[in-house]
C-alpha cells in the first residue's frame, strides 16, 4: 500500500510552500482503493492546520478526504482513492479536486487536477477478488431472499460490454438455491433465502468476459453468519430526513446510533452510494457530492439501508432504512408573464370575461405547482375582479353610469412557491374601465307661454334633458328645423325669443328640440341623440286701436220738440283682430248742453230736456271716444268726429244734398243723407305742382333743340366726302401714281396754311392699289393707311 512508503519517497514529494499549486497528476486506471495519488507538505507553525476536500468535479466518491500528518515539524497531506474507487479512463479521464487549506485565519483554496490514462494490461479482476483465496463476504442467515449481496460489475466495465457469470456448480443439498448475478453486476441471494445455512461458506467461481476475447477469473466466498441471541438494535430514529440542496459536500445529514458493544456502521444500499457516506464509528451520515437538484435530478429522494454491527462480532448486526428527501433551496422567486398587466375594458364587458392568463414558473423547481392569490387595492367594496386558477376574470357588472363608479381597478397577483424559504412574486394589475354610450338622452315635453309683446332675447324657460349615461348633464340642445323666432342654448337648454310675435298671425308654435349627449364614450364620435316637442303659446296683448268707418261724419237732423232722435250709429272694429266686438263709447267733446247721448254705438239727440229749445239751426261738432273693452290691459281707443247740423222742427231750411219730406206731426221724421266724396288739395301743393311742370317743359325744349343741331351737322359731314370721292375718280392713273409717290411729303407739310389743313375729313380707297387713305377736302392732302 502507498501508506507504507518509506520516508525517503515522501521527502522526494515534499513541497515547502503551497504557492506552487495547482498540481497536475496523472493516475493509471489500474490504481485501486487506498492508492495515494498525491502527497505534499507545508508549514503551519503557530496553529493546527486543517486540510479538506471541498468538492470534486465531476461529482464522485472515488476520493477520500485528505489525510494530514506531522513529520519533523512539517505537515504532510495525502490524497487517496476511496474504497469505492473504480477508475476507468474510457468513462471519465479528468477529475478536478478543490482543496482548502486553513492555517489560523489564513485560508487558501487550490485545485488538484487528476488525469486518468488507459492501462492496456489492466484487468478488472484484481485485488482479493482475483487472488487464490478470493473475496470473502459475510451475510446473515436472515438476509432477504434475492437481496443484493455484492457488486461485481465495476464502473467502466459496462462500456467494455463485460459479461459476468458463475461457472461453478451450485448443487443441492449444500446450496439451498443458486446465487445469481443480474445485468448490473449485483450478486443476489438465492430466492429460497439462507435461513438455516449458518456457518456455511459458499464458494463461487466468477468468469468476467470483456473486450475482444479478454476474460479473467475471480473467487467469491459467501460466509453465512448466525444471528446472535443478543441482537444489536438502533435507537429511536426517524425514517425520513429532509435536507436542502445547498449543503456542501461533507456536511452532516443525520447521525444514527445503535445499542451494542463497539458498534460500527456502513451503508448496505445503494452500493456504491455517490451522494452520501457514513462514519464507521460515529454513524454520522454526510454528503459526499453537491446535491443541487437543478443538476442532479436523481438526488431528490435517496433510500439508504444502514447496517450497524459489533466490530468483534460482525454477524451481530441490524439494518435501518432511511429516506433522505432533498429539497431545493429557494434562491429565486417565481417569474411571471406578463410581469405587469395594464389593460382597458369597456363597461359592457360581460361577467366571466377572461382578461389575462398568467404564466408563472419557479426557476428553482421548474414544473412545480404555484399558488396564486388576488389582492384588491382599490376601489374598496365588492371586488369587480376575481382569479380562477391562473386566469383573471371579470367578477361583477362594470357600471360607469353612477358618480365615481367608472374608475381604475388596482390589484395585484401574489404568486407563491412551495420552497423554503417561501418566495413570492407580485404582479401589478391595473384595469381601466372605459365608459360606453349605452343610452340615448331624453327630454320631457313642455309648454311655455309668452306675451306677444315680449321683446327679443326674452327667456321662456329651459328644456331639461336627462341621460342615464354618466355624466348625466353632458347634453347639447338644438332645434330641428321649425321657425327661426326661437333659439335654444346649446349647453343650458334655455329657450329664448329671437324676433317679434304677433298673436293675430300665429298663436301656437311647436318646436322639436334635439338632445345629443357628449363625452359619454371612449370614442368621442359615438354619440346618441333624442328629441322632444315643446309647445309655445302666444298670449294675446291689446296692441291695436279700434278704427271707425267713417272716422268723420257730417249730418243734418230735424229735432222735434219733446222727442229723442237717433242721429247715427258709430261703426268701429279692429281690422287686425276681427274677433274683438266689444267696445265702450263715450262723448268726450262738443256736447256742451248735453243734448246728445250714446246708447251703445248709437248717437241719440234728446229734445226732452226742456227749454230753452233752439229756434235757429245750430251745428254741433261731437268727439266720440271708442275704446276696446277686452279683459287684458291696455285698453286702446280712437276718436270719431260727428258734425251734426241741428234744425228745429219749425224751420224750413234745407241743407245741401239733404232731402226732406213732409212728415205729419204725429210721425217720426225720416232723415236721408247722401255723402259725396271729393278731393281738395292744399294751396301749397298747387304751387309746387305748377312750378315743377314749367321747369319740365323748359328742359324738354332745350333737349329737342340740341338734338336737331346734331342731326344737321351729321348731314353736312356726309355730303363733303362724297364730293371728294367723285373728284378723285375723274383724275387719271397718272395722278393716282403721282399722289402715291408724293404722299410722304404731303403727310407732313412743313408750313400748313391753316388749322383746317391739318384735318382729314374724308376717307377713300385707291382704285388701282386698293389701299385706304384719309384726305382733306380743302387742301387735298392725303394720308395713307
SS3 726: helix
Mean pLDDT across 732-758: 41
More confident residue, 760 or 356: 356
**pLDDT at residue 647 in the model:** 83
Q: Check whether residue 110 and residue 141 sit in a common domain.
A: no
Q: Check whether residue 364 and residue 419 sit in a common domain.
A: yes
Local confidence band at 472 (pLDDT 50, 70, 90 cut-offs):
confident
**pLDDT at residue 103 in the model:** 87
Structural domains of the chain, count: 6
Report the length, in residues, of the chain. Answer: 785
**pLDDT at residue 21 in the model:** 53
| 771 lies in some domain | no
Q: Check whether residue 400 and residue 460 sit in a common domain.
A: no
| 655 lies in some domain | no
Q: Check whether residue 341 and residue 313 sit in a common domain.
A: no
Q: Check whether residue 446 and residue 414 sit in a common domain.
A: no
**pLDDT at residue 670 in the model:** 43
pLDDT exceeds cutoff 60 at 408: yes
The domain that holds 78 is classified in CATH as 2.60.40.60
**What's the chain's average pLDDT?**
79
Mean pLDDT across 324-331: 83
**pLDDT at residue 335 in the model:** 92
Local confidence band at 736 (pLDDT 50, 70, 90 cut-offs):
very low
Q: Check whether residue 369 and residue 401 sit in a common domain.
A: yes
Beta-strand ranges (E) seen in 45-105 are: 50-57, 67-71, 74-80, 94-103
Instruction: Choose the final residue of a domain: 479, 508, 539.
Output: 539
Mean pLDDT across 54-79: 86
CB-count burial class (<10 Å; 0-12, 13-18, 19+) for 618: middle
Q: Which of 381-395, 529-543, 722-736, 758-772 has the lowest mean pLDDT?
A: 722-736
Q: Check whether residue 519 and residue 501 sit in a common domain.
A: yes
Q: Check whether residue 638 and residue 608 sit in a common domain.
A: yes
The set of cell numbers assigned to 730 is: 375723274
**pLDDT at residue 524 in the model:** 78
75-103 tens-digit pLDDT:
888 999 987 777 877 668 889 999 998 88
**pLDDT at residue 679 in the model:** 66
Taking residue 268's Cβ as centre, other Cβ atoms within 10 Å add up to 17
| 701 lies in some domain | no
Q: Which of 160-169, 322-331, 635-644, 747-756 has the lowest mean pLDDT?
A: 747-756
In 3-state terms, the chain is what percent helix, strand and coil (to 5)? 10, 40, 50
**pLDDT at residue 659 in the model:** 38
628-676 tens-digit pLDDT:
776 666 677 888 898 988 887 654 444 443 333 333 333 444 444 555 5
DSSP category for residue 770 = -
The set of cell numbers assigned to 160 is: 467494455
674-709 tens-digit pLDDT:
555 556 677 888 888 889 989 999 999 888 888 888
CB crowding 427-436: b at 16 or more within 10 Å, else e: bebbbebbbb
The set of cell numbers assigned to 150 is: 455484492
**pLDDT at residue 160 in the model:** 56
189-239 tens-digit pLDDT:
999 988 888 888 999 998 887 766 677 788 889 998 877 655 688 888 788
Q: Which of 371-375, 442-446, 476-480, 634-638 has the lowest mean pLDDT?
A: 634-638
Largest CA distance in the chain: 198
Distance, CA of 608 to CA of 569 (rounded, Å): 21
Mean pLDDT across 390-414: 82
The sheet with strand 263-269 has its strands ordered as: 240-244, 317-327, 301-310, 263-269
| 584 lies in some domain | yes
More confident residue, 374 or 575: 374
Local confidence band at 306 (pLDDT 50, 70, 90 cut-offs):
very high
Q: Check whether residue 132 and residue 218 sit in a common domain.
A: yes
| 456 lies in some domain | yes
Backbone phi, then psi, for 332, in 5-degree steps? -125, 140
Nearest to 451 by CA among 512, 511, 500: 500
Local confidence band at 746 (pLDDT 50, 70, 90 cut-offs):
very low
pLDDT exceeds cutoff 90 at 354: yes
Cis amide bond preceding 371, omega within 30: no
Q: What are the residues whose beta carbons fall under 8 Å from the beta carbon of 120, sequence distance 6 or more?
A: none
Q: Check whether residue 210 and residue 239 sit in a common domain.
A: no
More confident residue, 617 or 12: 617
Nearest to 532 by CA among 501, 554, 559, 510: 510
Instruction: Choose the final residue of a domain: 65, 83, 117.
Output: 117
| 140 lies in some domain | yes
**pLDDT at residue 118 in the model:** 77
| 654 lies in some domain | no
| 524 lies in some domain | yes
DSSP category for residue 99 = E
**pLDDT at residue 669 in the model:** 44
**pLDDT at residue 483 in the model:** 66
Distance, CA of 507 to CA of 536 (rounded, Å): 8
Instruction: Choose the final residue of a domain: 192, 225, 258.
Output: 225
**pLDDT at residue 550 in the model:** 87
Nearest to 55 by CA among 322, 247, 335: 247
Question: Which residues, in sequence order, are bridge partners of residue 425?
Answer: 415
Mean pLDDT across 337-352: 90
Asked if residue 344 lies in contact with residue 432, where contact means CB atoms within 8 angstroms, the answer is yes
Distance, CA of 392 to CA of 390 (rounded, Å): 7
Q: Which of 155-169, 338-352, 443-457 has the lowest mean pLDDT?
A: 155-169
**pLDDT at residue 757 in the model:** 42
Q: Check whether residue 50 and residue 94 sit in a common domain.
A: yes
Q: Check whether residue 552 and residue 478 sit in a common domain.
A: no
**pLDDT at residue 727 in the model:** 43
**pLDDT at residue 110 in the model:** 87
Nearest to 81 by CA among 28, 156, 10, 150: 28
More confident residue, 44 or 670: 44
pLDDT exceeds cutoff 90 at 582: no
Local confidence band at 740 (pLDDT 50, 70, 90 cut-offs):
very low
Distance, CA of 687 to CA of 683 (rounded, Å): 7
Report strand pairing: 371-378 vs 408-416.
antiparallel
Between CA 66 and CA 239, with CA 137 as vertex, the angle to 5 degrees is 70
Which residue range(s) make up the domain with 178? 128-225
**pLDDT at residue 161 in the model:** 64
Backbone phi, then psi, for 718, in 5-degree steps? -70, -30
pLDDT exceeds cutoff 80 at 295: no
Local confidence band at 473 (pLDDT 50, 70, 90 cut-offs):
confident
530-575 tens-digit pLDDT:
999 999 999 877 777 888 888 888 888 887 776 788 889 888 888 8
**pLDDT at residue 744 in the model:** 38
Local confidence band at 462 (pLDDT 50, 70, 90 cut-offs):
very high
Amino acid at each position: 500500500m502507498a501508506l507504507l512508503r518509506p520516508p525517503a519517497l515522501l521527502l522526494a514529494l515534499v513541497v515547502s510552500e503551497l504557492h506552487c499549486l495547482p498540481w497536475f497528476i496523472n493516475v493509471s486506471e489500474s490504481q485501486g482503493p487506498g492508492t495515494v495519488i498525491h502527497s505534499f507538505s507545508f508549514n503551519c507553525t503557530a496553529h493546527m492546520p486543517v486540510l479538506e476536500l471541498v468538492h470534486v468535479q465531476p461529482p464522485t466518491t472515488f476520493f477520500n478526504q485528505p489525510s494530514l500528518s506531522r513529520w519533523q515539524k512539517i505537515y504532510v497531506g495525502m490524497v487517496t482513492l476511496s474504497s469505492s474507487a473504480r477508475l476507468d479512463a474510457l468513462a471519465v479521464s479528468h477529475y478536478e479536486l478543490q482543496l482548502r487549506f486553513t492555517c489560523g485565519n489564513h485560508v487558501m483554496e487550490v485545485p488538484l487536477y487528476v488525469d486518468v490514462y488507459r492501462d492496456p494490461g489492466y484487468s478488472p479482476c484484481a485485488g482479493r477478488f482475483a487472488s487464490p483465496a478470493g473475496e470473502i463476504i459475510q451475510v446473515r442467515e436472515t438476509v432477504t431472499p434475492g437481496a443484493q449481496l455484492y457488486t461485481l460489475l465495476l464502473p467502466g466495465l459496462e462500456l467494455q460490454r463485460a459479461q459476468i457469470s458463475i461457472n461453478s456448480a451450485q448443487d443441492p443439498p449444500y446450496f439451498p438455491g443458486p446465487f445469481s448475478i443480474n445485468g448490473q453486476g449485483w450478486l443476489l441471494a438465492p430466492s429460497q433465502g439462507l435461513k438455516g445455512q449458518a456457518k456455511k461458506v459458499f464458494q463461487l467461481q466468477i468468469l468476467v468476459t470483456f473486450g475482444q476475447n479478454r476474460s479473467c477469473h475471480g473467487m467469491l466466498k459467501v460466509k453465512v453468519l448466525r444471528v446472535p441471541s443478543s441482537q444489536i438494535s438502533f435507537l429511536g430514529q426517524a425514517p425520513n430526513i429532509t435536507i436542502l440542496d445547498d449543503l456542501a459536500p461533507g456536511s452532516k445529514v443525520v447521525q444514527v446510533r445503535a445499542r451494542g458493544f463497539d458498534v460500527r456502521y456502513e451503508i448496505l444500499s445503494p452500493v456504491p452510494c455517490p451522494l452520501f457516506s457514513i462514519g464507521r464509528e460515529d454513524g454520522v451520515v454526510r454528503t459526499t457530492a453537491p446535491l443541487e437538484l437543478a443538476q442532479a435530478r436523481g438526488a431528490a429522494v435517496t433510500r439508504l439501508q444502514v447496517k450497524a454491527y459489533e466490530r468483534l462480532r460482525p454477524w451481530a448486526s441490524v439494518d435501518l432504512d432511511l429516506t433522505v428527501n432533498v429539497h431545493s433551496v429557494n434562491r429565486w422567486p417565481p417569474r411571471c408573464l406578463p410581469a405587469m398587466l395594464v389593460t382597458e375594458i369597456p363597461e359592457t364587458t360581460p361577467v366571466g370575461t377572461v382578461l389575462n392568463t398568467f404564466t408563472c414558473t419557479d426557476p428553482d423547481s421548474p414544473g412545480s405547482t404555484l399558488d396564486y392569490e388576488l389582492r384588491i387595492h382599490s376601489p374598496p367594496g365588492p371586488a369587480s375582479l376575481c382569479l380562477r386558477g391562473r386566469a383573471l376574470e371579470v367578477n361583477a357588472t362594470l357600471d360607469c353610469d353612477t358618480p365615481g363608479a367608472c374608475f381604475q381597478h388596482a390589484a395585484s397577483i401574489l404568486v407563491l412557491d412551495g420552497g423554503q424559504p417561501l418566495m413570492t412574486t407580485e404582479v401589478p394589475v391595473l384595469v381601466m374601465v372605459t365608459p360606453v354610450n349605452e343610452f340615448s338622452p331624453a327630454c320631457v315635453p313642455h309648454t311655455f307661454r309668452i306675451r306677444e309683446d315680449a321683446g327679443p332675447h326674452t327667456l321662456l324657460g329651459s328644456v331639461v334633458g336627462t341621460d342615464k349615461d354618466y355624466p348625466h348633464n353632458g347634453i347639447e340642445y338644438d332645434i330641428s328645423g321649425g321657425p327661426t323666432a326661437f333659439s335654444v342654448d346649446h349647453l343650458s337648454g334655455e329657450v329664448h325669443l329671437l324676433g317679434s310675435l304677433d298673436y293675430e298671425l300665429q298663436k301656437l308654435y311647436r318646436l322639436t328640440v334635439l338632445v345629443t349627449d357628449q363625452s359619454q364614450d371612449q370614442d368621442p364620435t359615438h354619440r346618441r341623440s333624442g328629441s322632444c316637442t315643446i309647445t309655445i303659446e302666444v298670449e294675446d296683448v291689446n296692441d291695436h286701436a279700434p278704427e271707425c268707418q267713417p272716422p268723420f261724419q257730417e249730418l243734418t237732423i230735424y229735432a222735434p220738440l219733446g222727442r229723442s232722435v237717433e242721429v247715427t250709429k258709430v261703426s268701429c272694429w279692429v281690422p287686425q283682430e276681427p274677433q274683438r266686438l266689444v267696445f265702450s263709447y263715450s262723448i268726450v267733446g262738443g256736447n256742451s248742453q248735453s243734448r246728445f247721448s250714446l246708447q251703445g254705438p248709437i248717437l241719440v239727440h234728446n229734445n226732452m230736456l226742456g227749454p230753452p229749445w233752439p229756434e235757429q239751426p245750430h251745428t254741433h261738432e261731437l268727439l266720440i271716444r271708442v275704446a276696446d273693452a277686452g279683459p287684458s290691459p291696455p285698453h286702446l281707443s280712437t276718436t270719431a268726429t260727428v258734425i251734426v247740423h241741428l234744425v228745429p222742427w219749425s224751420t224750413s231750411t234745407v241743407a245741401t244734398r239733404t232731402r226732406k219730406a213732409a212728415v205729419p206731426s204725429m210721425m217720426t221724421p225720416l232723415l236721408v243723407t247722401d255723402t259725396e266724396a271729393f278731393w281738395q288739395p292744399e294751396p301749397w301743393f298747387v304751387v309746387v305742382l305748377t312750378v315743377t311742370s314749367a321747369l319740365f317743359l323748359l328742359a324738354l325744349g332745350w333737349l329737342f333743340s340740341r338734338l336737331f343741331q346734331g342731326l344737321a351737322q351729321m348731314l353736312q359731314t356726309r355730303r363733303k366726302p362724297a364730293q371728294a370721292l367723285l373728284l378723285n375718280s375723274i383724275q387719271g392713273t397718272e395722278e393716282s401714281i403721282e399722289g402715291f409717290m408724293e404722299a410722304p411729303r404731303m403727310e407732313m407739310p412743313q408750313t400748313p396754311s391753316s388749322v383746317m389743313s391739318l384735318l382729314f375729313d374724308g376717307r377713300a380707297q385707291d382704285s388701282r392699289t386698293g389701299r385706304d387713305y384719309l384726305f382733306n377736302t380743302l387742301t387735298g392732302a392725303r394720308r395713307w393707311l
